[in-house]
Amino acid sequence: MSQKSSTPSNSPSTPSEETPHRYAAAFACTLELAWQQRWEQDDLYRTHNPGDAGFDASKPKFYCLDMFPYPSGAGLHVGHPEGYTATDILCRYKRMQGCNVLHPMGWDAFGLPAEQYAIQTGVHPRETTRNAIATFKRQLQRFGFSYDWNREFATIEPEYYHWTQWIWLQCYHAYYDASVQRARPIAELEAKFVSQDVLMDVDGSATQVRWSAASPLQRQQHLDRYRLAYLGTQTVNWCPKLGTVLANEEVINGRSERGGFPVMRKPLRQWMFRITAYADRLLEDLALVQWPESTRAMQSEWIGRSEGAEIRFDVLRGASVEGDALSVFTTRSDTLFGATFMVIAPEHPLVAHMLEHPHAETDVAAVRLYIEAAKNRSDIDRQSTSKKKTGVFTGAYARNPATGASIPIWVADYVLMGYGTGAIMAVPAHDERDFEFAKDFGLAIVQVVEIAGLPFDGTHAVSGEGVAINSASALCTLNGLTTSAAQDAMTCALAARKVGAKRVQYKLRDWLFSRQRYWGEPFPVVFDADGLHHPVGEAHLPVLLPALADFHPVESDQPVPPLGKARAWVETTAHAAGVAGLPPETAVRRETNTMPNWAGSCWYYLRYCDPKNNTRFVSSEAERYWMTSRRADGSMHSGGVDLYIGGAEHAVLHLLYARFWHKVLFDLGHVSTPEPFGRLFHQGLIQSHAYQRPDGSLVAVDLVCEVDGKTVERENGAPVTQIIAKMSKTLKNVVNPDDVIADYGADTFRLYEMYMGPLEAAKPWNTRDIIGVHRFLQRAWRLAIDEKSGALLVAATEDAAMERLLHRTIERVGEHIERLGFNSAIACMIELVNAATRPMDLADPTQGGLTRSQLERFTQLLAPFAPHIAEEIWSRLGHATSVHSCVWPVFDAAMLEEHEVEVPVQVRGKVRARIMVPKTATAPETEAIALAHPSVCEALAGVTPKKIIVVAGRMVNIVV
């Protein structure tokens, strides 16, 4: 929406007959387009790789990456250019500082949104995606960003997803060796099984079946328990409306992140990633990277490491022990003596077992009713239910290994199957949830911890660390021990009897990687008649996504992948599919699931290093050059992209997935750094205005008008207040970048977004304010060019004060760019231009405010921010080569030295005088000058100062 018409009072000046050379919108747009064309012709922003002609190995490298966009039909919004302008300024600056800069751009184009849009419009996603990319590219290029477009690619291109599939195969062929904490080829594990002739489990326990006697299916299923990319049966999030399963991360409050459709829990056989194997390293290595604290905290919470113990409770039938023990995870093993009952999740296998084999007290009907109700209640209901807890007694009892007491086992949905073992020991005295449950159902409550300052009075649970009480039995005695000592004692005692052990638990779960959708990367894997999976050989990649006229997902209770419709593609032979190890004519079926949207963005930053390589996903030489860097002291750090800028909405998903893939590639020797992104920065959300009624509801901007200086609803005159809100179609407050560029030019747009405030802060778009930076560019232009004649304005003589200010500006602008303080950098340049403009006598067009040399250096400062106008001025100064190939101007520190400095003098904390003292004045000299000042004498009124603090060259504070 263009807001120009609504604010006519501050529209920019336009060229008139008198001033045909004025820098205004049309003028700016014309020169911007001309320079963009020229830069493209000259291939100005091409980045050379090691080994290329033109590569200069003596320069330091700087890899600066934007989160590549997901092109949508709606085109760019004002949030995109915010981060992109920031990186562009930094990259231009770094080039001028003499760095080899890698600054690429591409397209994240597979996935649900494009497919949903295609379904809505009935146009094939290949078409809608191609159009969206074309629109995005046109819009991005209009900003004059210095991307090396030679490196552009889209994740949907076979040349790209070839290697996405290849990386998936690396995971398929690898397992995590916990003993060395890294991934290794699964062939090594298989060889071990063969040589030992046994099926060995993760924890070292061997099963009865010998490898040589196991069926192929058994062998495969066993190996699948180790593969990093494996086929596993999991209870997954099935979204009937989207016709696909979703990762846990893509489900928010029981609804799909995309579209907000209900999601059901359903067991399915799916491709998974064993990301949980990397939980500890993903957590620990957060210490290596320079990332926002909030993002590290979010990742750490998502991984959710928690140390505790696993404790096994015997399930009793009458007086005897029955079946497998009921295992629980607890972080408070020291409270075992206070465990007066147990709770298991409705989905816990023990529930089904007890329904088949009821205990004497089991009310089968009641339990069945409860678990049915829990199953049918969607996750939304389950989470939105008020705090009131529900549950039923199973009729079974377990033996508390500490007290020996029989304690009842209840089933309740406040215990989640997805965390820990799906069962808990309930310690009502010291856990709020258990307490609530015990109160409601009349269960025993026993205090076993005494917490200083928190007496237990039976009205609520007391949680925290303290000293154990009421905790003594034949198993162990904890009384008097502090919480941590008691936990150690308890876990030792339990371990000695083999009924418990220390254990670490994570919230992170394995990553569900299959989607029942069309628009994604096919898996390079097929199934034979026995249901065994076989990988496609690397030489036969990519497995091309078949063209499919009808790509619609099937809305159903059972997953029906659309690729199943491509019969000729699905039903093939081992030979045709490129599967080794099977007779060539063996009939096989291709995997019809596709990879999720995240796949492409997990490694795109690596591909940019070497995007045209068709023999490797990236050459190791290019990868080593762009991804590794050293600290100032020469030591290696996490390495990776030097600066990665993008929205905080990707704090967990994309960034965690990419880190995981990167670590697998690192373990397998394909990349040389443990982390993909050394430094991460989130640009803040650009917000907009909206209006709010007294009841809190929001009103779109076009339904509001101003009456007597007050904002009211157009329809009924009811008062509304202006608030800051997200840009949204419904609020009619979305700003379209194309309109802003048409009104002011791209340079003004860039400058405005950078001048709005700190890059990381959320800030409201204010169309009214754009004029400020536009005027700055006009003044800068007028500093160099006469608006009437178009002649160059250059001062013949250099003003010493101006020269000093220029040096100071060079220093400060550089400092602010390094700190990503672009708003402050621009403010410094405005100050310089204002200072240079004021003394200028427009009546004498032959005299400018700056000398040629000063104008040149200022233009170089401006170039990263407003590349087009700077290039135009540079060209008019007579240069044949680009200002963007210049060396950043240097400042002379000696120029910044002032001979005299102004020092404030405070008496009783108030500034009473400002004195001029020589720069070199010592503290006693400064003090003497201060005390001699009449205002100071007056303020002192004859009182003798108690103390005088002098910070030489800074200030004087006289205490009385």
Partner RNA sequence: GCCGGUGUGGCGGAAUUGGCAGACGCAGCGGACUCAAAAUCCGCCGCCCUCUAAAGGCUUGCAGGUUCAAUUCCUGUCACCGGCACCA
Restricting to residues 431-490, which ones interact with RNA according to CB under 7 A? Answer: 431, 433
HSE toward the beta carbon, residue 39, CA cutoff 13 A: 26
Stretch in the footprint of RNA (CB under 7 A) among 82-90, 224-232, 655-663, 901-909: 901-909
- Shortest distance in whole angstroms from residue 420 CB to RNA: 4
Helices (H), 261-348: 279-284, 293-303
CB of 346 to RNA, least distance (A): 11
Question: Is residue 761 part of the contact set for RNA (CB under 7 A)?
Answer: yes
Q: How many residues interact with RNA (rule CB under 7 A)?
A: 86
Q: Shortest approach of RNA to residue 303 CB, angstroms?
A: 11
Are 370 and 391 in contact, with CB atoms under 8 Å apart?
Answer: yes
What binding mask, one character per residue, do residues 258-297 give for RNA by CB under 7 A, x or -?
-----------------------------------xx--x
> Interaction with RNA in 687-716: which residues (CB under 7 A)?
none
Rounded distance between C-alpha atoms, residue 655 and residue 24, angstroms: 42
- Closer CB to RNA, residue 152 or residue 831? 831
Residue 170: φ, ψ to 5°: -60, -40
Cβ distance to RNA smaller for residue 128 or 823: 823
> Cβ of residue 415: shortest distance to RNA, in angstroms?
4
DSSP codes, 602-617: TSHHHHTTSTT-SSSS
Distance of CA 448 to the CA centre of its chain: 43
Which residue, 170 or 906, is less far from RNA as judged by CB?
Answer: 906
Site for RNA (CB under 7 A): which residue of 132, 231, 690, 771? 771
**Using rule CB under 7 A, residue 831 touches RNA:** yes
Which residue, 307 or 555, has its beta carbon nearer to RNA? 307
One of 256, 505, 748, 926 touching RNA (CB under 7 A): 505
The values of phi and psi at residue 746, to 5°, are -70, -35
Q: In the stretch 121-140, what mask flags binding to RNA with x, by CB under 7 A?
A: --------------------
> Looking at beta carbons only, is 14 or 215 nearer to RNA?
14
Residue 615-654 contact track with RNA, rule CB under 7 A, x = bound: ---------------------------------x---x--
Q: Does 755 bind RNA (CB under 7 A)?
A: yes
Rank residues 106 and 391 by Cβ distance to RNA and give the closer one. 391
Residue 779 in the binding site for RNA (CB under 7 A) = yes
Q: SS3 for 565?
A: helix
Contact 30, 863 (CB under 8 A): no
Tell me how far apart the alpha carbons of residues 21 and 713 are, in angstroms, rounded to a whole number.
44
- Shortest separation between residue 760's beta carbon and RNA, angstroms: 8
906 sits near RNA (criterion: CB under 7 A): yes
**Strand pairing category for 341-344 and 511-512:** unpaired
User: Rounded to the nearest 10 degrees, what angle do helices 25-42 and 737-744 cross at?
Assistant: 110
Burial bucket for residue 106 (CB in 10 Å: 0-12, 13-18, 19+): buried
Name the residue nearer to RNA (CB basis): 138 or 954: 954
Task: Kindly state the smallest distance separating residue 954's Cβ from RNA, in Å.
Answer: 4
Question: Nearest Cα to 857, choosing from 833, 840, 838, 834?
Answer: 833
Task: Report how far apart, in Å, the C-alpha atoms of 473 and of each of 407, 443, 617, 623, 948 are.
Answer: 16, 22, 62, 62, 71
Q: How far is the CB of 265 from RNA (least distance, A)?
A: 13
Residues with Cβ within 8 Å of residue 880, at least 6 apart in sequence: none
Q: Which of residues 349-368 bind RNA (CB under 7 A)?
A: none
Kindly report whether the peptide bond that precedes residue 934 is cis, defined as omega within 30 degrees of 0: no
Reading the block at residue 382, the tokens are: 């389950």
x/- mask, RNA, residues 789-818, rule CB under 7 A, reads --------------------------x---
Report the distance separating Cα 818 and Cα 90, nearest Å. 8
| Shortest spacing between CB 771 and RNA, in angstroms | 5
Among 116, 619, 824, 853, which residue interacts with RNA (rule: CB under 7 A)?
Answer: 824
- Out of 721, 766, 789, 920, the only residue in the binding site for RNA (CB under 7 A) is 766
Least Å distance, CB 575 to RNA, is 47
Angle, helices 653-667/293-303, rounded to nearest 10 degrees: 70
Task: In whole angstroms, give the CA distance from residue 155 to residue 782.
Answer: 46
Could you say whether residue 897 binds RNA (CB under 7 A)?
no
* Binding status of residue 304 toward RNA by CB under 7 A: yes
Residues in 907-936 that interact with RNA by CB under 7 A:
909-911, 914
Binding part of the chain for RNA, among 662-670, 707-715, 755-763, 789-797 by CB under 7 A, reads 755-763
Residue 815 vs 892, nearer CB to RNA? 815
Q: Are 271 and 661 in contact (CB under 8 A)?
A: no
State yes or no: residue 373 binds RNA (CB under 7 A).
no
430 vs 670, beta carbon nearer RNA: 430
Near RNA in 935-954, by CB under 7 A? 947, 949, 951, 954
For residue 283, report the phi and psi dihedrals to the nearest 5 degrees. Answer: -80, -50
Question: Does residue 758 interact with RNA by CB under 7 A?
Answer: yes
Closest approach of RNA to the CB of residue 780, in Å: 10
Of 124, 382, 624, 804, which one interacts with RNA (CB under 7 A)? 382
Q: How far apart are CA 698 and CA 692, in angstroms?
A: 4
CA distances from residue 828 to 136, 769, 810, 833 in whole angstroms, order as listed: 33, 18, 9, 9
For 410-455, give the DSSP string. EE-TTS-TTSTTSEEEE-GGG-HHHHHHHHHHT------EEBTTB-
Contact 263, 379 (CB under 8 A): yes
Stretch 388-407: interaction string toward RNA, x if CB under 7 A: -x------------------
| DSSP notation for 632-644 | TTS-B-S-SBSEE
Residue from the set 140, 245, 756, 780 that interacts with RNA by CB under 7 A: 756
The contacts found for 66-69 with CB under 8 angstroms, 24 or more apart, are 66/105, 66/645, 66/646, 67/644, 67/645, 67/646, 67/647, 67/650, 67/654, 68/105, 68/106, 68/107, 68/108, 68/601, 68/604, 69/107, 69/108, 69/136
Binding RNA (rule: CB under 7 A), the pick from 546, 647, 772, 845 is 772
Site for RNA contains 6 (CB under 7 A): no
Q: Show the binding pattern over residues 245-264: x = contacts RNA (CB under 7 A), - = does not.
A: -------x------------
Q: Which two tokens stand for residue 162?
A: 């070839």
Residue 417 Cβ, how far from RNA at the closest point, in Å?
7
CB closer to RNA, 188 vs 432: 432
Return the residue of 81, 308, 346, 559 that touches RNA, per CB under 7 A. 308
For the CB of residue 253, give the shortest distance to RNA in the complex, in Å: 8
Alpha helices in 593-710 (DSSP H): 598-601, 604-607, 620-627, 653-667
Least Å from the CB of residue 231 to RNA: 25
3-state secondary structure of 12: coil
Window of 217-225, 328-336, 729-737, 847-855 that interacts with RNA by CB under 7 A: 328-336
Question: Of residues 8-37, which lie at the interface with RNA (CB under 7 A)?
Answer: 9-13, 16
> Residue 905 in contact with residue 916, Cβ under 8 Å?
no
* DSSP 8-class letter at 314: E
Residue 88 as a binder of RNA (CB under 7 A): the answer is: no
Q: Which of residues 415, 606, 754, 817 is near RNA by CB under 7 A?
A: 415
Q: How far apart are alpha carbons 698 and 691 in whole angstroms? A: 6
959: contact with RNA by CB under 7 A: yes
* Among 121, 196, 558, 834, interactor with RNA by CB under 7 A: 834
Question: Element (H or E) spanning 330, and its range?
Answer: strand 320-330
